[in-house]
Structure 1
Amino acid sequence: MRRYLPAGCEDGAMDEVVDICRELIRIDTSNYGSDEGPGERKAAEYVAGLLDEVGIPAEVIETAPGRANVLARWGGVSTGPTSGERSDALLLHGHLDVVPAAAEDWAVHPFSGEVQDGYVWGRGAVDMKDFDAMLLSVVRERQRAGRVPKRPIVLCFTADEEAGGHLGAEILVRDHPEYFEGCTEAVGEVGGFSTTVRGRRLYLIEAAEKGMAWMRLTARGRAGHGSMINPDNAVTQIAAAVARIGTYEWPVRLTPTMRTLLGTVGALAGTDVTPENARDLVEEFGGATRMLGAVLSNTTNPTMLGAGYKVNVIPTEATAHVDGRTLPGYEDEFFRTLAELCGDDISIDYVSNQPPWETPYDGALVDAMTRSLVAEDPDALVAPFLMSGGTDAKHFRKFGMRTYGFTPLRLPEDLDFTALFHGVDERVPVDALQFGARVLDGFLDEV
């Protein structure tokens, strides 16, 4: 494996970040949200080996058969102030699992890690083995060169993030809090990628996430023969509730994070931000609108239906699953409205219910992220955004950490990047990986 070296070195010096990304993609860590799948153990051992190789002791923690996490401490001191050093630790975290992929749907095999047309292809190239590779390559090079941060760093690579983190970050936080002692801030996935608005490259740093309310709705009625009149039909009840939920138009609500982001866009467009023009301003983001449009309101999307066992039998029970996402500060409105839409005859059970979060977009860590980006892209704008999905940050925030998403990628203007998350033909530009490694290296100089 070739070494990663900082910017300005000879041709080929950035190859390690690409090599690691390709190797991680080739290790199938598909997470089906069940006992099926290969788990993360092989990837965890690979990651631990890369750290051990440069003298950073790493521990693999298995939370269920094959479901493995990696933890290591690096740099600084773990407790107590030392001259020239800091005692408050920074958590850098990424997950090792990926969502499944059907090879027949892809132009390039999803677990090949092939490099074609200037991109690394494969499941996890965007979510999020790219960040894992950037982090590992930078840490390895800095360790070799003796460029170890004065601030203590906790490196954490988790299992099961794609199914809510219940076998990964949730267990680590609950059962192994000693690993995170002293951590006051955390940086993980999703933010830091570029989009282009009115000819300006704008990097989005994740400073908030919607809450995750995955729910199972159940209607119960009277069983009977399909040929007879039955006003107490569970299928009819669940279908009506699903239709109400799925077609409900949630009102626009501007959180502090989105006011800041849209204020940046509004300045380019020459307008102030209001709830009335918020959706028009989001349209300025092109393909990223699918993600950013979803964080202007609470959302509910029905995703699964279940009922019956025979065409001429009215079942006693019918179910539906709904993916609900709640804005920070508007959870009460969400659950109150949901209860009204369901009505008294529908029961609600939560498959996963995790609160939203929002971190103030200020302070030294935000400054470090901004400076490291601008150092590599001087004309860029940097602003926060609210993430429509969820990450392991929800679990790590239980320790009171300030959390951000920062996976720096300078992307082509015509790349529909947000479509690649969990999408077919997931891929990341080679030069974006190398850009991200340079930015992370500069970021570690700042923290």
Structure 2
Amino acid sequence: MTDHAAQGQATAEDEVVGICQDLVRFDTSNFGDGSGPGERAAAEYTAGLLADVGLEPELFESAPGRANVVVRLEGTDPSAGALVVHGHLDVVPAQKEDWSVDPFAAELKDGLIWGRGAVDMKDMDAMILSVVREMQHTGSRPRRDLVIAMFADEEAGGAYGARWAVDNRRDLFDGATEAISEVGGFSAQIGGKRAYLLQTAEKGLGWLSLKAQGRAGHGSQVNDDNAVTRLARAVSRIGDYAWPIELTDTTRRFLDGVTELTGVEFDPENPEILLKELGTVARFVGATLQNTSNPTVLKAGYKDNVIPGTAEARVDTRTLPGQDELVLAKLRELAGDGVDFSYIHHDVSLETPFEGPLVEAMVGALAAEDPDAVVLPYTLSGGTDNKSLSRLGITGYGFAPLRLPAELDFPAMFHGVDERVPADSLQFGARVLRRLLTTY
């Protein structure tokens, strides 16, 4: 690993690339079943970077190897609410044979860091750590308390990370009112102009188990109560259902901003007309125009000539704010009789207005580094650890600032093969984040 402690008064821009590479080299793959290596080694490295500059981070495990790191920087204004600045140390698995490079080598090639987690989200982790280290080197104190947190298990819902910390260590977040984390603040080319997408909303999440019951029997017999057949019909209806277009306040404001940049009006009868103006970002935005329900797993039977008595499917639902019950009711209707539903994992949707002092500070920090750019709010179709923090009344935003080359298919980097991030984008992000954390 890079000896960052020996670099003395290194700036955030000096350190951020090396820290990101170091973090990527820790294999923190999260398979969702407890079989991965865990986050302990990466957490010890993270805690070491913070201790090197005189801080006293707390490293705690929610289960063996599932490690989290939290430290508080004291601000100058005790009356101001604390800001939680958080990342996660786990990553989704990578199939090495699918990649053109070693996914855990953090190779610097063509000006980009290649590796699993380079985008989701060890890039932001590195920005946070490098800025905090510079603040400590220079004696710069924030106006409000900063709670710096690196969580485990975000990629599997946070049961060993943010959710566990909220349930068991809420003292760590005393006085916190707002938070920033991943999947926002990155740039996209829209209408020939660079626009930064600041995440102010997240869809709700529901991983559902559907179980059909039937009459078990010999595979040679006539069976009009077949659990596999019943489940297959239910899954087919759910997978084929076209959810109607419904625009939240955040998405409507985003689309209005796109219309201003492109001159193209949004047509709910043909959303593709405007979405094609977004290029690769359409992947993110297209899924926020409606609820979604995608079948992902099927399980049934144990022998070719035995009709099983039960069959199970998993469905990944992502819901617009306030529509969880509506979506579940529709899925029950689509499934029909004889199919039982239960949640494997369920989490809230989030939406907050694109206004207020923190939003103004984030927009201002971006404008200071890229004066010609515009900033638009958007809804994330996935989820972040801000969901867990919201249970403490903490308002969360996605703000991992990156100025990206127009030709980079950034949305494809999330959980994708050959994940990579430009080194100079990290340095840009460190400058923006430094402005925010030292002034807000």
Same fold (TM > 0.5): yes
1:3/1:16 contact within 8 Å kept: no
1:204/1:384 contact within 8 Å kept: yes
SS in 2 for 1:295: coil
Structure 1 partner of 2:246: 253
Q: 1:204 and 2:197 equivalent?
A: yes
2:9/2:137 contact within 8 Å kept: no
Structure 2 partner of 1:64: 63
Q: 1:321 and 2:320 equivalent?
A: no
1:122/1:425 contact within 8 Å kept: yes
Q: CA offset at residue 49 of structure 1?
A: 0.6
**Letter paired with 2:68:** N
Q: Distance in 1 between matches of 2:135 and 2:384?
A: 27
Q: 1:351 and 2:344 equivalent?
A: yes
Structure 2 partner of 1:404: 397
SS in 2 for 1:155: strand
Q: Which moved more, 1:174-183 or 1:222-231?
A: 222-231
Q: Distance in 1 between matches of 2:72 and 2:405?
A: 35
Q: 1:430 and 2:429 equivalent?
A: no
Q: Write the mapping of 1:21-420 to structure 2, written as runs, cut at 5 A.
A: 21-76=20-75, 86-273=79-266, 275-276=268-269, 278-420=271-413
1:4/1:17 contact within 8 Å kept: no
**Letter paired with 1:18:** V
**Letter paired with 1:203:** Y
**Letter paired with 2:69:** V
Q: Distance in 2 between matches of 1:152 and 1:104?
A: 45
Q: Distance in 1 between matches of 2:316 and 2:84?
A: 29
Q: Percent identity?
A: 55
Q: Write the mapping of 1:7-18 to structure 2, written as runs, cut at 5 A.
A: 14-18=13-17
Cα shift readout 1:276-303 (whole Å, capped 9, x = no counterpart): 3544322211111111101100001111
Q: CA offset at residue 269 of structure 1?
A: 2.7
**Letter paired with 2:28:** T
- Gap runs ≥5 in structure 2: none
**Letter paired with 2:353:** P
TM (norm. structure 1) is: 0.95
**How many residue pairs were aligned?**
435
Q: Distance in 1 between matches of 2:211 and 2:8?
A: 55
Q: CA offset at residue 86 of structure 1?
A: 3.9
Q: CA offset at residue 445 of structure 1?
A: 2.9
SS in 1 for 2:105: coil
Q: Which moved more, 1:330-339 or 1:397-406?
A: 330-339
Q: CA offset at residue 401 of structure 1?
A: 1.4
Cα distance, 1:305–1:4 mapped onto 2, change above 3 Å: farther
2:143/2:438 contact within 8 Å kept: no
1:4/1:137 contact within 8 Å kept: no
Q: CA offset at residue 361 of structure 1?
A: 1.2
Root mean square deviation, CA, Å: 1.4
2:202/2:382 contact within 8 Å kept: yes
Q: Distance in 2 between matches of 1:402 and 1:166?
A: 20
Runs of 4+, deviation exceeding 6 Å: none
Cα distance, 1:5–1:262 mapped onto 2, change above 3 Å: farther
Q: Distance in 2 between matches of 1:280 and 1:205?
A: 23
Q: Distance in 2 between matches of 1:3 and 1:39?
A: 31
Q: Distance in 2 between matches of 1:51 and 1:397?
A: 26
1:4/1:15 contact within 8 Å kept: no
**Letter paired with 1:29:** T
2:267/2:274 contact within 8 Å kept: no
Q: Distance in 2 between matches of 1:272 and 1:14?
A: 40
Q: Distance in 1 between matches of 2:157 and 2:317?
A: 14
Cα distance, 1:3–1:265 mapped onto 2, change above 3 Å: farther
Cα shift readout 1:313-353 (whole Å, capped 9, x = no counterpart): 11101111111110113223212211111112100111101
**Letter paired with 2:153:** D
TM (norm. structure 2) is: 0.96
1:95/1:158 contact within 8 Å kept: yes
**Letter paired with 2:64:** P
